[in-house]
A and B are shown apart, each in its own frame.
Chain A
Amino acid sequence: MSKTQSQRLAYGEELVALGADNRDIVVLEADLGKSTMSCLFQQAYPDRYFEMGIAEQNMLSMAAGLAASGKIAFASTFAVFAAGRAFDQIRQTIAIGNLNVKICGSSSGLSDFGDGSTHQTIEDVATMSVIPNMTVLTPCDAAETRQAVHAAAEIEGPVYIRVVRNDVPDYISEGDTFELGKMRVLKDGNDVVLFASGTMVEASMKAAETLEKDGISAKVVNVSTMKPFDEEAVLTLSKEAKAIVTAEEHSYIGGLASKVALALKKSKVPMDYVAIEDKFGQSAHSVKELMDHYGLTEQNIVAKVKGLL
């Protein structure tokens, strides 16, 4: 298996790289800089870093004010406190105003395993996607996180970037070009298509290997732009397929499963999903325990594929 790296570290390092070239980059944080790794920016450019205290709503609205004044404002905190707690601030001023605020939802999904349901974010892709003007990015590894952060700075308007707490295996090369809105085929295959986002790229790649042994050729597609969602690509990539399975560390409502299902509204290719059912998370001693419990596994992807064939 390829080596693993931290998306959080990638986020912090890319902020520093962006800040070197562009004085308009400012960073806001709500007392979680050592977790989100925005602290790296603080060390590099303390005059453009704002510790906002434990007050996420004020942080997002202040980011809006900075962005309305020509700054590119990155605001990071745990995903649940951005996409949940500060939803109204994001919607009212940032999104309606189409302002250059880039929100990093860190420790997303089940990755904050110990802290339990209050801190595990299973609905952020849905809540951010439903807001007009918002771009939603779910990078699958460290390199893609760098690319997403870089792209976010260049996009005019608000962006939500979802990263996890645990280290994740490398799938994207640093040199690969990140095209906003484009899906990336990580492994080719003829029989079935696995659409995966974020951490579930790993399980999907492993599932594809297992399926290969059973004579089933699986294409694995990494979906890292959840909005704007490339419905056309879903249709094109799955044209000849006998089955489609989606995989995501998120509720099945409003995330990848929902988006692919909508794209397939006129397709006859059968589809199933691996996602969190309509349930909250809970505490555990490892993210793996939770992934297993909620069925976010390679085995479940294989089973769903076979169930459709």
Chain B
Amino acid sequence: MGRQEIVNSIQKMAAQLRKDVVLMIGGDGHVGHLGGSCSSADIVAALYFHKMKLDKQNPKWEGRDKFIMSKGHAAIIQYAALAELGYFPKEIITTLKSFGSILQGHPDRNKTPGVEANTGSLGQGLSIANGMALAMKLDEKDNKVYCILGDGEMAEGQVWEAAMAAKNFKIDNIVAIVDKNKLQATGSICERFDTNPLPEKWEAFGWKVLEIDGHNIEEILEALDKADTIKGQPTVIISHTIKGKGISFAENVVGFHNGAMTREQYGIALQELDAEIEKYN
């Protein structure tokens, strides 16, 4: 596959993942973390459908790279990827958060194939990812751990404990991705609790910092490849994104951090995403 074809296929998959997310939340009044899932969609698509070493037939394959959704509320974008990979039947996605479903409100490693750790209490995922990356080094595995964090999550102190630990242990097989969508649950991060400036902070903590447009597949792929070349220190990708990206009425709207779509909005979202998918057919 040529470069442009790869980019197009990831772009298409990202739209498909967003559509899956919309299907999961539905239009029946159930709330779901639409905004932060859509802002991460492109990077998740690039990781699961291009970058990470995985075995579609075996979610627990020993040679796999690992993915940790530290901002666990965005689990649904990961569920979408796992469903598209075939880790579980795709029709299950509409059971999200219903009683007895394998798809919980936050990631559960014992319920959902492909989920590596339970996250949800913010600020802990990078530490977990560190532990996994260290284990890979102990086992002399040439694998990587990718961890998505939110920019609101940067307020959690444990993130910076983990940042220090990764530098201390020279964990260079971890890539943190900060989904900088600039909104938290109750408003703009700048106005509510300003976690900026991020690049300077991460640099001071000993990380190699890359900055990208998190909706530009070319830039995502370039940054992920660049991270492979960084040795002796961990890498963080500050990914500038739009919360709710890809769904017109949800973009940059705080209420869709964890909101419900009306029946009409649900229809519009599906229409818009179908049109986006169609562009790549």
Contacts and interface: CB of A to CB of B under 8 A. Distances in A.
Interface of A: 26, 47-48, 50, 52-53, 55, 57-58, 61-71, 73, 88-89, 92-93, 96-98
Given A93-B118, A93-B119, 17 more contacts: A53-B161, A55-B161, A57-B158, A58-B130, A62-B162, A64-B128, A65-B130, A65-B134, A70-B135, A73-B131, A89-B121, A89-B127, A92-B121, A93-B117, A93-B124, A96-B118, A97-B109
A66 to B, nearest CB: 4
Q: Shortest 5 CB-CB distances between A and B: which pairs?
A: A65-B131, A61-B127, A69-B135, A58-B161, A62-B131
Contacts of B124: 57, 61, 88-89, 92-93
11 contacts: A50-B169, A58-B130, A58-B161, A61-B127, A63-B131, A65-B129, A69-B136, A70-B135, A70-B139, A89-B121, A89-B124
Given A53-B168, A92-B119, A92-B120, A61 B132 contact: no
- Chain B binding surface SS class: helix
B221 to A, nearest CB: 26
B262 to A, nearest CB: 33
B165 interface: yes
Nearest to A96: B118
Contacts of B127: 57-58, 61-62, 64-65, 89
A55 B130 CA distance: 14
Nearest to B129: A65
A70 B141 CA distance: 13
A283 B79 CA distance: 52
A281 to B, nearest CB: 27
A62 B158 contact: no
Contact of A64 (B117, B120, B158): B117
Contact of B108 (A61, A62, A66, A96): A96
Nearest to A60: B127
B158 A92 contact: no
Nearest to A91: B121
